[in-house]
Amino acid sequence: MAENALVESLMWGFVSSFSLLLGAVTGLVFRLPGKVVASVMAFGSGVLVVALTFSLLGEAFRSSQDILPLMVGFVAGGFAYNFANLVLGRVTGVPRRRRRPNVEKRSADAGPPGLALLVGSLMDNIPENIALGISIVVAGAVNPVLAIAIFLSNYPEALSSVQGMKSDGMSRKFILVSWSVVVAAGTAASAVGVGLLAGSDPAIISFFLSFASGAILVMLIESMIPEAFLEGGSQIGLATLAGFALAFVVHHFL
């Protein structure tokens, strides 16, 4: 059973992370309008709201039936992402933005947002995929809403980041290798969720599920939704609504 769960976690971790590489290839071949990227980003935001509420927090409470580890993990995850966000901004010299589709708008001295976004993508993808592995431990099968949410949110992230990396003069080979490493890290992270927490105390599982939920919520508010609105304007509200509705239907029936 444990071996099957490990294999399943690796498979789904790869599938959900592979959209990063798809986004990178798309960004290398095409330059999509900012409004299109923003709409995809907003759609993924709506899906993530359902995932963090029902797939993560809901499972966290069902696992332990205790609100204390849930809230401790939720707050800790939010603070952890906020702190990492600030540190990355100081290291790169620019405020970290998860996505920045129109890199030509930035000033010449704004620093290297393309590479900063790649690092940020790695920072986001690891806890998301750990939570995906934990969902297999808790339910015995992958959580489809969470897997869809990670896949949909990863694609525009890589798509817009590659635009910045190209503008910074990075080679195609470097870009593809870099994003392949991020995909590999996300795949391995899903197995970590299974390997470390299989058979763990329900309170510990609840803590880590809610930790991922808090981190994703803060990421949405600090990075994903503001960037989508900056590029797409008011139309992103409807795109977010569509993502939420689809994810809720999937959650309800699956």
* pLDDT per residue rounded down to tens, the chain (254 residues): 456 778 888 899 999 999 999 989 998 888 778 788 888 888 888 988 988 898 888 888 988 888 999 999 999 989 988 888 788 777 655 555 444 444 444 443 333 456 666 776 777 788 788 888 887 877 777 888 888 888 877 887 788 778 778 777 888 899 999 999 999 998 998 888 787 776 778 888 888 889 888 988 988 888 788 878 888 888 899 999 999 998 898 888 86
**Residue 192 backbone class (left: φ over 0; alpha: ψ -120 to 50; beta: rest):** alpha
Is 64 in contact with 70 (CB distance < 8 Å)? yes
Tokens matching residue 125: 């993808």
* pTM of the shown model: 0.78
Predicted local confidence at residue 202, as pLDDT: 85
Whole-angstrom Cα Rg for the chain = 17
In sequence order, the 6+-apart residues with CB closer than 8 A to the CB of 208 are 73, 130, 131, 134, 193, 197
For 73-147, list the strands marked E by DSSP.
none
Q: Helix, strand or coil for residue 178?
A: helix
Predicted local confidence at residue 104, as pLDDT: 43
User: Would you state the torsion angle of the CA atoms of residues 130, 132, 138, 144, taken in this order, to the nearest 10 degrees?
Assistant: 180
Predicted local confidence at residue 167, as pLDDT: 74
